[in-house]
Structure 1
Amino acid sequence: MEEKEVLVKAEGLSKKFCKDLKTSLWYGVQDLFTNLGGNNKERLLRDHEFWAVKDINFELRRGECLGLIGHNGAGKSTLLKVLNGLIKPDAGKVTIKGRVGALIELGAGFNPILSGRENIYNNGAVLGFSRQEIHEKLEEIIQFAELQEFIDMPVQNYSSGMKVRLGFAVAAQMKPDVLLIDEVLAVGDLGFVLKCFKTIDQILPNTAIIFVSHSMPMVSRICNQIILMEKGNSKYQGKDVATAIDMYYTRFADSISNILFSDGSIEFSEVKILNSLKVFEEIPQINWGQDLQLYFRFNLQKSIGIPEFSVIIVDKEERPVARFLSNSSISEIRIENNSIQFIITHFKIQLSKGIYKINLTVRGGDNKEPLLRLNNILCFQVLHNEDVWEPFLLDAQFENNNIKPIIRE
């Protein structure tokens, strides 16, 4: 099978900024007169300067989607602006073939005093389309953006969601060769986001897409290449999207207790997994389908009896996905030497592969008033050979269709 043409090629791209405005202006004057402001890769950092993007290299072909991930300040948006020509690199070069559509910043490229309709013509012209080509696509763009009623209203009066809808409609419906998308899709409502991804699926075979997002499910949904950035550098680069996403989440995988509330009557002491297979980077691991045994210990500061313990499992997107049944009066929990210890066992865990955290709420008294609330008291990882983004991977058995179904009365 013949490889498709390379549409985007980045070679040693680097961009530096200065943390201090006055110093930055002075360096600008120096560079102007000493001719050091050019594309000189060997130039060293000066005082107060830092690399926002450092030595990034990649090739992107037609039909490929590159995900740029990393935490705030990693350099993702700066790299996207360099690729789009909005800012000039200090080193390296970028080569892009064909028409480029960009959805980088909310409202970027729009003239606020012009109407949505006039901005469509302006943006289409910037992309290199003739007025006739834009006119032929106009109704399709307006319908996709769901702005029929407001298309002749000045863009400055649009909500953030309306601006995103118009920006994506222009960028995608004109079917550019290269499409650059920043985090702006996070502003849109769920229905529109789903429509955007359907459109991306349709145009991807003939387009090269670079997608920046903090939403890992979105990244895994459309990207077949990935770059994990950290402090301007490429920490991981390749086609194994799942590995990069796991590395992205590892930063959150600390077991430092986060006390949200405490009335002082009970003190959290210890939690651990008793049956973990091994520990990787301080994260205990268990296999999918294995029993999960959690050990807890608390110290009582006051005489409060045995409180109610609620243990919640939170996924890597900080969403609660499951909760264990709380203890009851018949649970085998005792108080010894002002200490409470117990083990919770969950049989055959079927959480999908990934990293999870434990949150805890302790309540006491007849009214079950909160005594203690903790977040992130333990982090653990479920191992499986299949990557899925649904929270549960449920066990199932496939059988011959001649077998009669089980009907319970």
Structure 2
Amino acid sequence: MNSTDIAIEFSQVGKKYSRTAKLTRLKDVVTKVTQNYRGDNDFWALRDISFSVNKGEAIGIIGSNGSGKSTLLKLLSGVTVPTEGDININGTIGGLIELGAGFHPEMTGRENVYINGAILGLSKQEIEDRFPQIIEFSGLADFIDMPLKSYSSGMKVRLGFAVAITIETDIVLLDEVLAVGDSSFRKKALQMMESFLADKTIVFVSHDIGQIKRICDKCIVLNRGKLIFTGETEDAIKVYQELSNATQSSFNTRLQNYRTHLVEGILLNDKEEETSIISYGNDLSVKLKVNIHPKTKNPVIKVKIKADEISTFTDTISEFVIKPEEPGVLDTILRIKELPLYNGKYNIDVTILNGANDIVEVKNDVMSFSVINHKPDFKMRGFIEVPHSVSSIDETSEQIWSLNDVNEDEMEVKLCFPNEEVKYGIVTFHKIINKSLHVPITHFTVPIDYGKTGVLTIRKSFLGNGNYTFDIITLNKDKRTIKKEQNVLQCSINDRKEKTGLVFLKHSWD
């Protein structure tokens, strides 16, 4: 192939960063030396990356968080330069990466269009010529002369996208730009993108597999700074999904006395064996070694368990906190009793904060595990098996359903249906995050006998503080849905003394 047909070419490219700031003062140098500074703080965000993109091709870049996707985009856009290797670009390059860069909250939308356009390289006349198109596409004509601080986050992104889409370049870099806004705007933006990008070379970074399939001809898969696959989009997605399902039972790094950091983490089963697979109902332990530097005042260590398949900001299932009392190396074990989680993959974050609630270190998805051997009665809704019991009583009621507290540890849902066709009630239990977001916690199956009342008794031991709501789905004898009723019952829990995430798991620290 003629070299003029290649738009982008990476040849053995690597990018190295330092975990610590450059030492510029004699005092800093002496401090590091006296604290046994080892000088091994360099790490490779990318290493030995080689690939090429032909003109007019759309290539996707996929990989887990921390795999090097953003670093690769920065190298392409010229924000940073490679430590080793060569990058050749044939054509002008621009991107829809930092939408709304330079927006000022006190200025109007109109003024910010001119500022943002100038940052992206447009002249004043070019902005004036394109202004009607920008306003029409953004749909913000009624708000364009209002201060930007009165805009919602979605409105700001729409305005930034409308400006950026008018830039004329040969190569376009995209970074999750279609992951925001309402559904009608995303549809409109995607249609505009497909028209706008018809004759351009595209580099698209996204976790949205559907958009990757729709836009990209081929993909590269990154993992921990290494390029592990280049090829057809469908094949690349299979490789990415296999990586995403993999679990990691441990983490370790060299002890660095001069800073507060996580040194080691290991997942253990109830036999104290290292593992990344836990059977439902068994114990799970998280063994941690953390170095606490004396300058970190009132440190707090948080361990979070997250559901891999919950794609919202509420993905923290449960949070556990320990407050070390002395500096130095802390060895501790978090023991979680009778793990009640449904089958699936779960990730663990470890965050260290100081007394001012400033983050000292955060390790996202530093370990992960899979739960197996849970046997649901119906298709699982939610992620946790909450202790409960089901019974039937010989009485009827005019109320189809009701909710009452039995005592401080239990609540009771009663179901009574006048319809002989109803044989099962599926009670789905959600936690209310805000008006529009209800996260399914679990579900319960209640057999329904005509002329009787089904009673569901729920223990509150796993419930954290917050507001909860119930949906009820009725099924016939063939387990086919008759009707679904949403938000029919609500309750609140307010007596937990510690922040727990979505639910509370029984645990202890050793």
TM-score class normalised by the smaller sequence: 0.5 to 0.7
Counterparts of 2:342 and 2:6, CA distance in 1: 57
By percentage of residues, which structure has more strand? Answer: 2
Q: Retained in 1: the 8 A contact 2:220–2:227?
A: yes
1:212 corresponds to = 205
Counterpart check, 1:132 vs 2:125: yes
TM-score (structure 1 length as normaliser): 0.57
Q: How does 1:258-273 map to 2 (within 5 A)?
A: none
Give the aligned partner of residue 66 of structure 2.
Answer: 73
Query: How many angstroms does 1:173 deviate by?
Result: 2.5
1:341-366 CA distance string (max 9 Å, x none):
xxxxxxxxxxxxxxxxxx99665784
1:367 aligns with 2:364: no
Deviations 1:23-74 (A, max 9, x none): x312899xxxxxxxxxxxxxxx961221112222232233221111111111
Find the partner of 2:180 among 184, 187, 194: 187
- Identity, in percent, stands at 39
Residue by residue over 1:303-326, the C-alpha shift from the partner in whole angstroms, topping out at 9 and shown as x without a partner, is xxxxx8223499xxx9xxxxxxxx
Q: Greater shift after overlay, 45-54 or 197-206?
A: 45-54
Deviation at 1:212, TM superposition (A): 1.1
Matched with 1:246 is: 238
Deviations 1:252-274 (A, max 9, x none): 2677556689xx99x9999xxxx
Q: Which residue of 1 aligns with 2:225?
A: 232
Query: For residues 165 and 49 of structure 1, do their structure 2 counterparts lie closer, same or farther at Cα, with a shift above 3 Å needed?
Result: same
2:304 matches 1:311: no
Give the AA of the match of 1:174.
I
In structure 2, runs of 5+ residues without a counterpart are: 27-37, 248-276, 282-316, 319-336, 344-369, 384-440, 448-453, 460-510
- Kept in 2: contact 1:75–1:229 (CA 8 A): yes
For residue 95 of structure 1, give the secondary structure of its aligned residue in structure 2: strand
- Superposed, 1:294-333 pairs within 5 Å as 309-312=377-380
Which residue of structure 2 aligns with residue 323 of structure 1? Answer: none
User: How far apart in 2 are the matches of 1:223 and 1:127?
Assistant: 25
C-alpha distance in 1 between matches for 2:161 and 2:107: 18
Aligned pair count? 282
- 1:171-224 CA-partner distances (Å, limit 9, x unpaired): 222342222121243122221111121112112222111111111111111111
Distance apart, 1:8 and its partner CA: 2.8
- Residue 170 of structure 1 and its aligned partner are, at CA, apart by 1.7
Equivalent position of 2:17 in the other structure? 17
Is the aligned partner of 1:223 residue 2:216? yes
Task: Supply the AA of the counterpart residue of 1:19.
Answer: R
Matched letter for residue 11 of structure 2 = E
Aligned to 1:61: 54
Task: Flag the 1:162–1:370 CA change in 2: closer, same or farther, 3 A.
Answer: same
Counterpart among 23, 26, 36 of residue 23 in structure 2: 26
Does the 8 Å CA contact 2:46/2:225 hold for their aligned counterparts? Answer: yes
- TM-score calculated relative to the size of structure 2: 0.47
Check conservation: 2:280, 2:341, Cα contact below 8 A: no
Alignment of 1:323-362 (within 5 A): none
**Mapped partners of 2:202, 2:106: distance in 1:** 30
Distance 1:183 1:191, change over 3 A: same
2:145 to 152, 160, 164: 152
Letter in 2 for 1:14: G
Counterpart of 2:311? none
Q: Residues 253 and 93 (structure 1 numbering): CA distance in 2 closer, same or farther, change over 3 Å?
A: closer
Residue in structure 2 matched with residue 385 of structure 1 by the alignment: none
Task: Give the partner amino acid of 1:245.
Answer: I
What are the Cα deviations for residues 96-150 of structure 1, in whole angstroms up to 9, with x where unaligned? 3444332223533434444333333344344444333332211101111112122
CA contact (8 A) 2:96 2:165 kept: no
Distance 1:154 1:369, change over 3 A: same
AA aligned opposite 1:91: E
More helix by share: 1
Whether 1:119 aligns to 2:112 is yes
Residues 360-389 of structure 1 deviation map (CA, whole Å, 9 limit, x = unaligned)? 966578424569xxxxxxxxxxxxxxxxxx
Equivalent residues in 2 for 1:159-178 (5 A)?
159-178=152-171
Distance in structure 2 (CA, Å) of the matches to 1:310 and 1:18: 51
Which runs of 5 or more residues in structure 1 are unaligned? 30-44, 271-282, 284-295, 299-307, 319-358, 372-409
Match of 1:197 in 2: 190
Q: How does 1:63-102 map to 2 (within 5 A)?
A: 63-102=56-95
Structure 1 residues 154 and 268, CA gap change in structure 2 (3 angstroms): closer
